Structure 1
Amino acid sequence: MPPADPLADAVEPPLRPLPERAAALLRSLGAPPRLTAHLRLVHDVAYELVDWVERRYPELSFDRAAVLFGAATHDIGKTAYVGELSGPGSAHEEAGRRLLLDHGVEPELARFAGTHAAWSEPGVGIEDLLVSVADKVWKNKRVSELEDLVVARLTEATGRPAWEEFLALDDLLGSLGTGADRRLAFQAAYPVHR
């Protein structure tokens, strides 16, 4: 029998709860359990990322709450495109942005539904990059082009050499990646359909 509720079920080490607004949206949409579990995992990794950025880069201005909300809702369009939970597809991106807007979410927060997969587009901010990184590293996937964009933003903010920022980010992402097996097992414990 699968676990009961991915929004509340315990795992060791514990996962942080989703922002209440995001959790309420997922409940009202009847989000598939596997999707809710995935969003909870990406949000938890994003939380670690933003804590690290705040500690190491106090001079970098970014919206912590936006990153956490974005991580908690980036794939919400998969409530309409459930097949994309277990297979490829990008229809959920625009659908998610539209769905969030239709539910009163501000455009600056709804954007993450699209930018989490379009991180190389012009105008993508550090918040979008952090959500994209969290969406990769939760399962220990590394994307050098994405990480290079983050390193460039960190280097811009600090004036330190890029190699120094690369090493710091690499250490963090390597550390976060070590929990991937536990996270993958948590997500897999939930069914794709209700």
Structure 2
Amino acid sequence: MTTTPTDFLARALDAPGEPRLRPLPLVVAELLRSLSAPPRLAAHLRAVHDVAVQLVEWVQDRYPDLAVDRDGVLFGAATHDVGKVVHPEELTGPGSAHEEAGRDLLLSRGFPPALARFAATHASWDAPDVTMEDLLVSAADKVWKDKRVSDLEDRLVRALAGATQREPWEEYLALDDLLTRLGADAAPRLAFQSAFPVHT
């Protein structure tokens, strides 16, 4: 029996195997199906979304008084690279054209600017108007593959310390522990992504 691109996309979105990745939000899964997204892109978005869920749950548990738009972070993580549908060459090579393209694609599909922005901002954590939600999406996009970016983590530590009045070193130690644990599971996530073809 021949496996079709649609079969690969369905597996990338729904496969229950290892690692046990949470499903993407239904609206995002439907969007990716309607775009005939490359299966590898769907697998990547699912892996980053899964890490974002864990990040947000940690923030909500450790900082119960900190207002964080959970749904926004999870949508942002689930769609941050959607512009690679328009620029598939950036699935296997460098490039940032997918960022603006992703935001424009989401806007054209009726998603509000507050959600579409993550596609354009996930690599801009040093922007002056960056939000906690932007930082969490950016962190998920790095740590899913156990990549640590000191500038990003420092910015997140400062934001957490500023929101809680705790000492930055205390927030650094807590965040470092979390990111180390999340990064330890990178190999199965990378294997999951690599199991899917780049092209539809």
What interval of TM-score do these two structures reach, taking the shorter chain for normalisation?
Answer: over 0.9
For residue 90 of structure 2, the aligned residue among 84, 89, 93 is 84
Match for residue 121 of structure 1?
127
Q: Is the contact between residue 83 and residue 119 of structure 2 (CA under 8 Å) also seen in structure 1?
A: yes
Match for residue 66 of structure 1?
72
- Aligned residue for 2:16, secondary structure, equals coil
Is residue 149 of structure 2 the alignment partner of residue 143 of structure 1?
yes
Q: Deviations over 1:148-178 (max 9, x none)?
A: 1110111011111100000000000000000
Match for residue 165 of structure 1?
171
How far does residue 122 in structure 1 lie from its aligned partner after superposition? Answer: 1.3
Match for residue 44 of structure 2?
38
Q: Is the contact between residue 19 and residue 192 of structure 2 (CA under 8 Å) also seen in structure 1?
A: no
Q: Is the contact between residue 59 and residue 157 of structure 1 (CA under 8 Å) also seen in structure 2?
A: no
Residue ranges of structure 2 left out of the alignment (5+ in a row): none
Q: Is the contact between residue 67 and residue 127 of structure 1 (CA under 8 Å) also seen in structure 2?
A: yes
The AA in structure 2 aligned to 1:121 is: A
How far does residue 141 in structure 1 lie from its aligned partner after superposition? Answer: 0.1
For residue 111 of structure 1, the aligned residue among 107, 117, 128 is 117
Q: Partners of 1:90 and 1:110 in 2: how far apart?
A: 16
Q: Partners of 1:11 and 1:169 in 2: how far apart?
A: 28
Q: Partners of 1:99 and 1:162 in 2: how far apart?
A: 38
Match for residue 6 of structure 1?
12
- Structure 1 stretches of at least 4 aligned residues deviating more than 4 Å after TM superposition: none
How far does residue 119 in structure 1 lie from its aligned partner after superposition? Answer: 1.1
Q: Partners of 1:124 and 1:110 in 2: how far apart?
A: 15
Q: Deviations over 1:111-149 (max 9, x none)?
A: 000110111111110000000000000000000000011
Q: Partners of 1:61 and 1:11 in 2: how far apart?
A: 34
Q: TM-score scaled by structure 1?
A: 0.97
- Aligned residue for 1:7, secondary structure, equals helix
How far does residue 60 in structure 1 lie from its aligned partner after superposition? Answer: 1.1
Q: Partners of 2:157 and 2:85 in 1: how far apart?
A: 33
How many residue pairs get matched? Answer: 194
Identity %, equivalent residues: 64
Deviates more, 1:78-87 or 1:13-22: 13-22
Aligned-residue Cα RMSD (Å) equals 1.2
- Aligned residue for 1:111, secondary structure, equals helix
Q: Is the contact between residue 11 and residue 186 of structure 1 (CA under 8 Å) also seen in structure 2?
A: no
